[in-house]
Amino acid sequence: MHTTAIVLTGPEAIQVQDLALTSPGAADIVVDIDHSGISTGTEKLIWSGKMPAFPGFGYPLVPGYEAAGEVVEAGPDSGFRVGDRVFVPGASCYGDTRGLFGGASRRLVSAGARAVKLDPALGAEGALLALAATARHALATERAELPDLIVGHGVFGRLLARLTLAAGGPAPTVWEVNPDRMSGADGYEVVHPDADPRRDYGNIYDASGNGGLLNSLIMRLKKGGEIVLAGFYPEPLSFAFPPAFMKEARFRIAAEWQREDLIATNALLDAGALSLDGLITHTRPASSAAEAYQTAFEDPACLKMILTWEGHA
């Protein structure tokens, strides 16, 4: 089998290529992807060439870990049937081309154990499951407490706020400095940090990925409060120790989703307790990938860019 896939051949170098696929096994599924998302966190670092080195990283690679589509082949041990609608968090099925994430492809081969069955009514929003699950992971780990302040009203910040409300927590305050992202709140308030006089937040979740905010966030904590680093920070982090000492500040790092987060988040969607409405602001055909990636990373009005794969082989 072959597929059309997006290939990063180097920093800011994107091509749409024909790639051979590895043959599926008894526990695998073959999925025709119709929608895949562009991550403004890890994918931006890979696209820009700023991703820190780690095992398995290198060019050329197929990016993307947000993919939704239909099962067209299902092995007898895969747990799925042809016609099932699924979310797939990427794949490594492209031979010599690295599938570091591997979801930005018209067709892919994945172990059935990695996929999650989706409600077909989700449509393109099904590609957002991993991002929502990452937000859920930040909130649901051991000893985690719900946020009363969220920094950043991008897609991730909105998901944190929606999940906080879904968990029955009080409405959090959300900070945003970009006028293009102030709107869209439902059940919580979005304010500019300069307009917020509060200095006693117990749990601050940073969804901005801006490590330069640490000192200002520490000053907004109550004594013994916690700052959760929920973004991705490619540069070393630092903060002034005396204010943190006086506050007895705590810090926690929230990593990416785990399998149980995908399952739990999907259950919230099925139950109607969580909505993904209004998060996708831009859609482009996969053939326009170079322009789509640049828009996703450089246009502040773009909350979430989705690539469509209909019409590709």
Q: For 61-115, how does the pLDDT look when each residue is reduced to its tens digit (9 = 90+)? A: 999 999 999 999 999 999 999 999 999 999 999 998 988 789 999 999 999 999 9
Asked if residue 248 and residue 266 are part of one domain, the reply reads no
137 domain-assigned: no
pLDDT at position 52 over 80: no
- Clarify whether residues 192 and 126 are in a common domain: no
Is the same domain home to 85 and 117? Answer: yes
Q: Are 32 and 70 in contact (CB under 8 A)?
A: yes
pLDDT tens for 270-300 read 999 999 999 999 999 999 999 999 999 999 8
Considering its fold, how many domains does the chain have in total? 2
Are 103 and 192 found together in one domain?
A: no
| pLDDT surpassing 90 at residue 174 | yes
CATH code of the domain covering residue 75: 3.90.180.10
The string of pLDDT tens digits covering residues 16-42 is 999 999 999 999 999 999 999 999 888
Strand, helix or coil at 2? strand
Which of the four pLDDT bands, split at 50, 70 and 90, describes residue 145?
very high
pLDDT at 312 over 80: no
Is the CA virtual torsion 174, 306, 15, 53 positive or negative?
Answer: positive
Mark residue 283 as left, alpha or beta (left: phi above 0; alpha: psi -120 to 50; beta: remaining): beta
On average, the pLDDT of the chain sits at 94
Banded model confidence at residue 232, pLDDT cuts 50, 70, 90:
confident
Neighbours of 113 (CB within 10 A): 12
The answer to whether residue 313 scores a pLDDT higher than 70 is no
Nearest 10 degrees: Cα torsion 300, 302, 303, 305: -140
- The CA distance from 29 to 56, in Å, is 23
**What is the CATH classification number for the domain harbouring 215?**
3.40.50.720
**232 and 261 share one domain:** no
Range of the domain at 224: 142-253
What is the bridge-based pairing of β-strands 201-206 and 28-37?
unpaired
User: pLDDT value at position 24?
Assistant: 97
Whether residues 238 and 147 share a domain: the answer is yes
Among 213, 233, 253, give the residue marking a domain's end.
Answer: 253
pLDDT above 90 for 235: no
